[in-house]
Structure 1
Amino acid sequence: MNIHKIVLPTPYAIGDVNAFLVKGDALTLFDAGPKTKPAYEALARGIHEQGYSMDDIEQVVLTHHHPDHAGWVDAFPKADVLGHRYVDYWMRQSADFLHYRETFYREQLEQENVPQEDIDRILDAREELELFGTRPLTRFLKDGDEVPGHPGLVAYETLGHAQSHFIFVEEHTGEAIGGDLLLEKVSSNPLVEPPVDLKGERPKSLLQYNASLKRLQKMDISKLYTGHGDAVTAIKPLVAERLTRQHDRAMHVLQLMAQHNNVYDLTKALFGKTYVKQPGLTLSETLGQLDYLVAEGYARSEMQNGVEIYMPA
């Protein structure tokens, strides 16, 4: 794969994010960073260093919809924008979608026993939404689709960290662009998000994520270009390590269940002051571990006065 990594700054705790310029029959940018001035300048500089201008980019392909990856699609008005159909909701930000999003999260957070003042703080996503691009997708990709202009580069749906997540695998080399599926230094957080069809039950993100990691583990990938940090080559042992650590975290949550029985209280017990700084992320992590415990038969849950209560099985 003729690929060049462009490192972009972000305002998030994760730090820098990677975009990738891939040369083929089409000049393609994979991911585009957050919609900030420093990220734009780094993106333009990285493209220029490869002998191109922003106008030369023919298509932008998104690994997923999160704003640190999908912001600067607006910098390429002449290019096609490709990704999962779920990305389009976040780009368009229609009044109906934003209302659905708020209703979904408010109901979910109430079931988690989160205090009302914290719910209001979590739902105030104005700054985050400003970091998204606003261009609708010109083409939706599906699992197994080949990326236009790159014969043999295939999209694989790998949900969990996001409901829109793809990795892109070049079949003849085994190289892949992996987004945030598997990162070298840190575990990706399986985030609570509305379902792809915008109806029905909440997706169980951690269970999806574990399935996606196992799918990755079965693939013959020689090098995974990641959304943050350096590329990963020892993929199978790293996946095994991450799955083991996740199981161990879930067992710790099971122990805490002796004193705490809802998502909010368990999150406060697990994360302490980190919850105050990152309530959405920490609640997602705790809920994911509880989904895992229920799915594996270690715990069960029931609704009591509008709050989901968890107990050992």
Structure 2
Amino acid sequence: MILAGQCVDSAFTNAHVYPGFFPKFGFDGSCLFAPFLFTDSTTTRYGKVSFWKWSFGDETTNADSSRLQNPPWLYHTLGFKQVILIAGSDKGCVDSAFLNVEVKDKPSLILPFKDTLICIPDSLQLKAIGKGTFVWTPDDGHIDNRFTATPTVYPRKTTSYYVEMTQDRCIATDTVQVNVVDHVTLFAGNDTTICRTDTIQLNPQSDGLRYTWSFIPAARFSDIQTKSPLTSPFGSITTYHVVATIGSCVAADDLNVTTVPYPLVSAGPDTIVCFDDTASILGSTNGSRFYWNPVVYLIHPTTLTPLAYPKETTTYTLYAFDTLGCPKPSS
């Protein structure tokens, strides 16, 4: 086509878009001098993954790379390494993923508990968490499946069990102590008296592992399955019953909590007094003893009706105690 003496033409092409390319990888390994194995898990909606380029973050060499899909790598220094995977598809998609991996001097070995208690004749399953082969000692005739992560032990005396986990050439060790008793010790506590409406914490002396509380009559209670609960008795005398257990061994005990009312007390009405004048304070109580606070500028402060001659506005508080056992004063 000729337009105003100029040649004009056109062309076109298709741009293909392939969304849904997601590079990802995982690894197995944690120990120095034992190869890490990196596993590609890249996914794509179109085509297939066609190439991989790895960088292992090894600061000891410039050759820490691979084109394999699932390569191994052996580290020679400890610490965190940033591993990068650049992956591509046969549709031309390219993206990257990275992870920080930690190189340790020994494999990761976790024991959920390291000190526990059992009662004869009970058994207990120990547990180790890690990737490797396991050996538990001592082999004293009271352990089953000692070449697994979860052996069962039934010692007749307090015993320390040692676990050794081997991962490639790397070894980790740890210890569990199993304390053995033939009964549960339990003392619920001495009977006591508190002021009515107050809260008290029960503190039994026991080596039990689990506890269950009950009480008569009703009372406010924080948790019937904790060792040291908080409670507010409603009645004048409340009996608390506690059961402590270690496996199949059981012990029980009681204690009584008596409540008595706070003494009645009144410091009298507020009053106004001129400077350098005195005012009568009209206190009253049914308590067995009492005291005023502060006592400064009081005449006869040991009586319920002292005279006050304060030099400034002052609040006088009357504290009273009873003879029934309420350990705190009213004011």
- Tell me the TM-score normalised to structure 1 length: 0.18
- Tell me the TM-score normalised to structure 2 length: 0.18
**Larger Rg computed on CA atoms:** 2
Structure that is richer in helix per residue: 1
**Structure with greater contact order relative to length (CA < 8 Å, sep ≥ 6):** 1
